[in-house]
Structure formats: structure tokens, C-alpha cells
Structure 1
Amino acid sequence: MMIRIARRKRSGIFGFFVLAVVIACVSKFFSAPEGKNDDTAPGYAKSLADELYSPHAILVRLKDQAVLLRKNSEEKIFPASLTKMMTAIVAIENLTDLEEEIQLTHYTFDGLYSANASLAGFEAGEMVKAIDLLYGVLLSSGAEACIALADHIAGSEQNFAVMMNQKAADLGMDNTRFENSTGLHDENHYTTVEDLAILLTYALQSDTFREIFTTPRHATQPTNKHPGGITLHSTMFEKLDSRNISGGEILGGKTGYTNEAGLCLASLAKVGGQEYILITAGAKGDNHPGQYNIRDAMVVYNRLGESISK
């Protein structure tokens, strides 16, 4: 895809020469073709795609939606906990008061322990403010926070999934279907990294979503079960050795993992003064050692920073 770079007024022949060199270099090093055949990505993008542990990837510049790298971006994947980005934005758009208290019940936890679902640390019978549940969804990847919000907003998780699918349709996520709010594996619960890029691009326009997505840790407000509150940690920032990358920093992200989905990551970075999102999915390994989804993000963003600096 041709990268669109805004023209700026320059004085003198040298200024035009510099601009031409910048456009040529960035286009050469980070470009991806139109169409569905991601395997034909030329030059640097194709070489970098081959280096990734993740079999599915897409890199997008937020400013103009230029796609800089693709790798099997339209193939079906299981999103695991990247699902929770949709859970969060649908909840944000349907909650009337983020300070409203929502009660978690014993039914909230039905099936979550047996499924080995990730939990934020809330308890049955706990009254938790909606905003803290949202932090539990995106930071700690808490399945109980997802279910509590879904039940409160739609009456059931099944009804909430209908709302998620309607939002996906509204956004043009044509290759996506949600069966639940948590991302627990279901053969009929699937998407593509391209569709997830559409979702994250949209969700980041919400100030509330962006604030949570870019927060490393959050202390919840006191509740009847936790008088001192609890501290929620971002599953991505916990795995990062450093937020710093060449020419910028990683601003936020959401991890995902199931046996069927592999290691997944949706991330936001600022490089060379511009914001970029990267979605990767399907990397081998488990959720403890060998965080190849994190490694892939660092490689892509660092190469991007190096190409811009050149």
C-alpha cells in the first residue's frame, strides 16, 4: 500500500531533495501491497514478516490508516483475550455511569475456574465500580470483570455477545464473530488481525478506553470485600523489559493466549512522533516463558524507528 505522507512547504532545492529521500526510504522499508496476497509484500516488509514468530500480523499508522506491514492478515484466527478490547468498548459505550457499583455474584464465576480463565482478583458478592471492572478487563484480563459487565449491561453474556457482533458489523469487521465476552476458546469465536486493527483503531478514539489501555497499573477503589482496594497490573507491561524503542516508546497494549490461539498481542506505540498499532497472533509458546508476541512487537517497532531515523 502506498504510504501517504502529508506535503509540507520547503524552501530551496535541498528541502525538496530531503523530502523525496524520506518518502523513498520509508516507502521502501515499510510498505505492503494492496489486496489479499500478503505473501507478496516487497522488500523490507516481506523480510521482516518472515522474521516474526507470529504467523499473523498487521502494522498500521493511525494518522492516515496506512498499512505498513501485513502477514496473513485476513486469515481466520482465534483472538483469545484480545476479545476483551471489544468487551471494553461495548461496555464503555453502554454504561451510563462509570462510578456505578456492580455486584459480582457466584454465578459470575461459573465455569471460569474449570476453564482456567484469567481473573483480575474480584470476589463473589463484591460491589465494584464499573470503571474498576473496565480496568480489570483490559489490564488484568479478568474474565470475571467481563462477565459482570456483560450481565449488568445486557442481562446475560449471550445477549452481550449479540451487542459485540452488532458493533463488529457496524465497524466493518466482516470476518469476525463473537460467542462470549472473555475470549475463552470456541470454534465459532474468531476474527482476523485486520479486523482487530479496525477495532483497536476505533476503540482508541474513546478517551476512557485509551486511558485504560495505556495504563501500566491501577489501584481500585475500596469495596466491601477489599477495603484497601486491589492493584491491577497490565499483562503486557508486566512482560516488557522496557517501554523504550528506537525513536519512541510503547504506549499500551493487550495480551491474549489460549492453546488454540497461541500468543497474541495488540499494542500501541509512538515512533518518530507518530502513533502506530500492531496486532500479532498465533505465536507458539505458552503464557509464561518465551513471550514471542512481546518479542515480535519490539522487533517491529525498533525496525520502524530505525527506518524513520535513517
Structure 2
Amino acid sequence: MMRKTVILFTVLLLLFQLQPVAAEEASNDLALAEAASSAILIERDTGEILYEKNAHEQLPPASMTKMMTLILIMEAIDDQKITLDETVRVSEHAASMGGSQIFLEAGEEMSVEDLLKGVAIASGNDASVALAERIAGSEAAFVTMMNKKAKDLGLENTRFQNPTGLPAPEHFSTGYDMAIIAKDLLKHEEITKYTSLYEDYLRKGTEDEFWLVNTNKLVKFYDGVDGLKTGYTSEAKYCLAATAKKDNMRVIAVAMGAESPKKRNQAVTQMLDYAFSQYETDLLYERNQPVTKISMIKADKDQVDVVTEDTVSILLKKGQKKSGIETSIKINQDLQLPLDKGSKVGLLEVRKDGEILSETALLIDEPLKQAGIWKLFKHSLKELVKK
């Protein structure tokens, strides 16, 4: 059995007063994103809402849908179900997609990385379906995965019918849900390697060379923007989920239902300007930072590091003093072997005056398996010596 200490340590980080930023406070008397029918602005690490407008209204998300597609692609890469350099054979169904596309041919083979670029930069519907079929076996099976992931994220106003965002009955989301999806996608920091590119090429050096141009023009014209996803259909109008990082603070701004790309970009720019002029963050822990160790008597290793699943920060108004924040680490008491690398083993809580500001999952950074007989014998002998 694991040692029964639940709270391993509590650290007093700062001294005076800090009030968590409230959405109601942040949204008062602001006239942001007037050109959008729905909008929301959040700080990425804490998830705090800095501004919102009709953020829970169900609307067609158009190609912002592809953020969920990208999450599942990045998870498949992380889990080594696919690799960036493997080739994918394009089906007739994938090649038949209309709308935004990279003009894949049925039977053509293209690397996962190039298809990923096609989705992230050019919003290719054909590339999205090709990767969906590779990961799940069919587009329909992939959509089931998308909706399960939405449920896992606690999204109550999102329903997907395809991985592209092409118009379909009962395909909807909200500004808030899109912001949460963007937040989850950004756990895979390497995605911005692709979404930040303004241009690139596919099939380079061949007669079928294809120029990719980012549909998100803010990556070129707004300092700090490195993603994430545009969207447009005649029903959805112009949409954008953008992210930008300056210093330690990363924010996500979502605008839906604007009448033109210019008005969409203007709405997002207003929200980004507001965030960076009014707020800052204080970083407490990096993603994957070791914070403690655990040991289990019957495990094949004496100890393994426990790391943060995500970055942990506190949000401050500009000029606000840092103050009495406590962090505590809680390890689950009912862990059972074996445990895979990345298994959730506890929570890191950030509190102010007894109120939880944030909870971040804690993971083990190595697998733990059942110890062999010799390992168990040596451990038992060691315990006897201690007595």
C-alpha cells in the first residue's frame, strides 16, 4: 500500500491579499467585440473569463470545429498511434470534401505532418477527413471520438457531426465551449509550431507544389498571435478562435458571427488589446514540472516523480499586489498497479482564503509496474531491518 499521507505539503507563497478576477467584474461597462454576435476572452492557464458576450448561445462553429479535430490528432501523436513521418493514403471520400481544401487526390499518399499543416494552416477539409479516417477508421467513428472528448471536457452545448465544420444539422457549439476546446488544444504546445505559420508549401519541388496561406491573418499582423483557427460558412458568418502570448500570459479570444473578416479580426484584436493592457499572470509551475514523488510498496521502482499536467498560474490586474496564495498537493489513496506513464495520481490545488482558485491534475512521469519476487523480497528485508 502507498503511504497514507494525503496532503504532502502546503506552501505559503505570498503574503497579503489577492482576489480572484471575476468575469462579472471584468465584463462591466465594456464595449468589446461589438461586431461579433458572440464573444469570449479567457486567460489560458487559469481559465478565468475576462470578457464575455452571449458566450453560451448555440451557434454553428464552422471550421473552428477543427480545433477538436486537432486535439484528437495531437493525442494520437502523443500516444504513438500515428507518427508525423508516416504516410496516409487518401480515400475517395476524403478527396471529395468541398470548401477549404488542399486538393488531395484519391489514392494520393501524404505524410501525417503535411496533412496536419493542411488542417492547421489552410483549414483543409480533405486533410481533416484523411487524418480522421487514419486515426479512427472512418469519419463517423472519429466524430464519435470528438463528441466523447467534448463530454469529457464538460461541454454541454456542443455537438459535432463532422470533423470539418461543414454545415450539418445539429452541428453546433458556443463561444465558451470553443474557448475551452482551444484551452485544451494548447496543452499540446507544439501545435503552435503549425498554427503560427503564415505560409508554407506542400509537395514542395514537385509539379503539384501547393502554397499554404494561413486563414488567420492575425498571426502576421498582431504581435504574439500564434493560432488558432478561423471559420466561415454563410450560416456561421466569420468566426475566429485566436490565441496570443506576451511575457508569461497567454489568452484566448473567440468571436463568432461577424459580418466580414475585417470585423471579425477587429473584435478579436479589441479583446486581445484589453487583456494585455489590463492583466498579467504570475507563473507558479511549468507544465510537466516535478512537484513531489510517490512510492508504492509493490511497485517495480522505489520512487517516481509526480509532475503537473499543465502550467499553473494566478491572474492579476496590472499593478495588483501578489498575496497569500497556498498550494497543496493531494495524492490519491486508492492507486492500483500497474500505472502507465501519464496516469493521474492526484491534484495540485491553488487556494486563497480557503477558496479553490484552480485544480491541476498531477501525473507520474514513468510507468509503475508490479514488482518481481526478488524486488519484493529485498523490500521486505529492508522493512524488517528498519524494525
Q: TM-score range by the shorter chain?
A: 0.7 to 0.9
Please list the CA deviations of residues 284-303 of structure 1 after superposition, one character each: whole Å capped at 9, or x if unmatched.
23xxxx52111111122223
Instruction: Compute the RMSD of aligned alpha carbons.
Output: 2.8
Please list the CA deviations of residues 193-246 of structure 1 after superposition, one character each: whole Å capped at 9, or x if unmatched.
1111111111111133232222323334659xx467534221103x666223xx
Matched, 1:242 2:242: no
CA distance in 1, matches of 2:14, 2:36: 37
AA of the residue aligned to 2:236: A
Matched, 1:32 2:12: no
AA of the residue aligned to 2:31: L
AA of the residue aligned to 1:141: S
1:7 Cα deviation from its structure 2 partner:
7.5
Give 1:157-176 correspondences, 5 Å limit.
157-176=139-158
Which residue of 1 is the match for residue 31 of structure 2? Answer: 48
CA contact (8 A) 1:157 1:180 kept: yes
CA contact (8 A) 1:89 1:209 kept: no
Matched, 1:147 2:129: yes
Please list the CA deviations of residues 153-201 of structure 1 after superposition, one character each: whole Å capped at 9, or x if unmatched.
2222111100111111111112111000110011211111111111111
Matched, 1:296 2:267: yes
Unaligned 5+ segments in structure 2 are: 1-11, 280-317, 320-387
> Helix, strand or coil: the match of 1:48?
coil
Matched, 1:88 2:74: no
Matched, 1:306 2:281: no
1:252 Cα deviation from its structure 2 partner:
2.0
CA distance in 2, matches of 1:58, 1:107: 35
Matched, 1:233 2:217: no
CA distance in 2, matches of 1:204, 1:125: 32
CA distance in 2, matches of 1:267, 1:282: 15
> Helix, strand or coil: the match of 1:205?
coil
1:122 Cα deviation from its structure 2 partner:
3.0
AA of the residue aligned to 2:190: T
AA of the residue aligned to 2:59: I
> Helix, strand or coil: the match of 1:291?
helix
Give 1:253-272 correspondences, 5 Å limit.
253-271=228-246
Q: Percent identity?
A: 32
Please list the CA deviations of residues 26-48 of structure 1 after superposition, one character each: whole Å capped at 9, or x if unmatched.
96xxx5229xxxxx9423xxx32
Report the TM-score, using the length of structure 2 for normalisation: 0.62
CA distance in 1, matches of 2:179, 2:201: 29
Unaligned 5+ segments in structure 1 are: 1-5, 10-15, 35-39
CA contact (8 A) 1:263 1:282 kept: yes
Larger Rg: 2
CA change 1:7–1:236 in 2 (3 A) is farther
In terms of mean alpha carbon deviation, does 299-308 or 153-162 score higher?
299-308
CA contact (8 A) 1:271 1:304 kept: no
